[in-house]
Amino acid sequence: MTKYWRRKNVTAAGRGGYILFELMISSLLTSMLLLGLAASIYLILQITRSIEDLNYAQSRAEMVLAILRQPAEHCGYGLPKSAEKYRNAFDGRTSPFSWNGPLTIDAMNGKENAVCKIAYAVRTFVRTMDETEISEYTVKLHVASVPSSIGYENELKTDDINDWLLFGAMLPDCWPVRVWGRPEIQPDGSAKLPVKLNTSLPDGDKAMIPENDELFALRAMECKVLKKNEDYVFTTNDYTGSGAQPRVEGVIDVRFDLGGGGRLLKVSILTRGKWRHDGIVTDGIPKGWPEKYATAIPEAARHYRLVANQASFELKNF
């Protein structure tokens, strides 16, 4: 009886030790699985955060390109291309009439090619009704309707960009045309605009605006990156009196170069990600960013993931 009890007691004690060992192994395996799961979740979160960071930077660049697209593609339409003729056409004393042509690229604060100035045309969907000779003297231009874009209702000012029209088919050369007074509305709904050239043509020549030529409104845009608080912002000035306006935040730098014999506008854009890191996460030159502009990257911007984009616009009117 005593022997049997001892054997039974020893068997129960052994079984209890085995169960305890099983629990320890199970706890260890569970801990390993949980650690692996936590690591996987952390890695997924980091990858998601990184993708969101890069998408944010990419979207900034796409917004800048969208702003530049129309001005670049319609740059110089109906305008003289040389600096001298451009300034003479406007009697240029202030911007944008004093620029070195429809497209001017300047430096800013020692940064090469950091400012782009574009004079371009915008459609009015209004056409001329008759062929008209035009010179420095006021004539009446017969048009199908009054363009909504011109500033004829305001007092005439030499620096009002809304008082200028452009014509792509003007002969022998294209010159900007100044609206010089209020339109005369005709019974059929058409209008006669008092217009003139702002400069005398060589040897007293006259320019010819053909019938059915579309009127285009003159517009201008100066774009550059400015520092605002602790961030950098892509700004534009359209010379309608509002000054430089912030358009896209998170744009560290934008540079402009000419290529293709002066018929391509190359734009390099450096944008930041959404999240600021404690340490530097972008070291050296970001992939795709021109090496000649690398020294101008601010140290504070390197705490963000930086993404470089490049695009080219064809200057169709050059």
Residues 247 and 235: beta-carbon distance below 8 Å: yes
Enclosing H/E stretch for 207 = strand 207-209
Query: Rg for the chain (alpha carbons), in Å?
Result: 34
Of 203, 220, 237, which one is at a domain's C-terminal end? 220
CB atoms within 10 A of CB 55: 13
> Are 31 and 84 within one domain?
no
Q: Quick check: is 108 in a domain?
A: yes
- Residue 55, token pair as written in the block: 């998408």
Question: What's the pLDDT at 241?
Answer: 78
| Cα distances (angstroms) measured from residue 51 to each of 5, 26, 57 | 69, 37, 10
Helices vs. strands in the chain: H and E counts, helices first: 2, 15
**Are 269 and 204 within one domain?**
no
Per-residue pLDDT of the chain (318 residues; tens, 9 = 90+): 444 444 555 555 555 566 766 767 777 777 777 777 676 776 766 666 777 888 999 999 999 999 999 999 999 999 999 999 999 898 777 889 999 999 999 999 999 999 999 999 999 999 999 999 998 889 999 999 998 877 655 455 556 888 899 999 998 889 999 998 889 999 999 999 999 998 877 666 778 999 999 999 999 999 999 999 889 999 999 998 788 899 999 999 999 999 988 899 999 999 999 989 899 999 899 999 999 998 889 999 999 999 999 999 999 999
Measured CA to CA, the distance from residue 294 to residue 270 in angstroms comes to: 10
Residue 205 and residue 103 share a domain: yes
Residues 162 and 174 in one domain: yes
| Same domain flag for 174 and 214 | yes
Give the residue among 183, 182, 112, 173 at the shortest CA–CA distance from 143: 183
195 and 156 in a single domain? The answer is yes
In this structure, are 127 and 178 located in the same domain?
A: yes
* 186 located within any domain: yes
How many structural domains does the chain have?
A: 2
What's the DSSP call for residue 171?
B
Of the three residues 181, 200, 220, the one that is the final residue of a domain is 220
Question: Can you give the pLDDT at residue 198?
Answer: 85
The answer to whether residues 9 and 99 belong to one domain is no
Within-domain flag for 53: yes
Residue type, 125: F
**Cβ-based neighbour number of residue 261 at 10 Å:** 7
Distance CA 99, CA 50 (A): 43
Kindly state whether residues 84 and 197 are assigned to the same domain.
yes
- Cβ contact 51:273 at 8 Å: no
Give the SS3 label for residue 235: strand
Structure tokens at 42: 């952390």
CA separation for the pair 112, 157 (Å, rounded) = 34
What is the distance between the alpha carbons of residues 198 and 195, in angstroms, rounded to a whole number? 10
Q: Does residue 235 belong to any structural domain of this protein?
A: no
* Residue 230 lies inside a defined structural domain of this protein: no
Q: Tell me, yes or no, whether 118 and 155 share the same domain.
A: yes
Same domain, 37 and 97: no
Asked if residue 241 belongs to a domain, the reply is no
Q: Which domain holds residue 27?
A: 1-73+250-318
Tell me which residue of 140, 126, 134, 128 sits closest to 194, measured CA to CA.
140
Residues 85 and 159 in one domain: yes
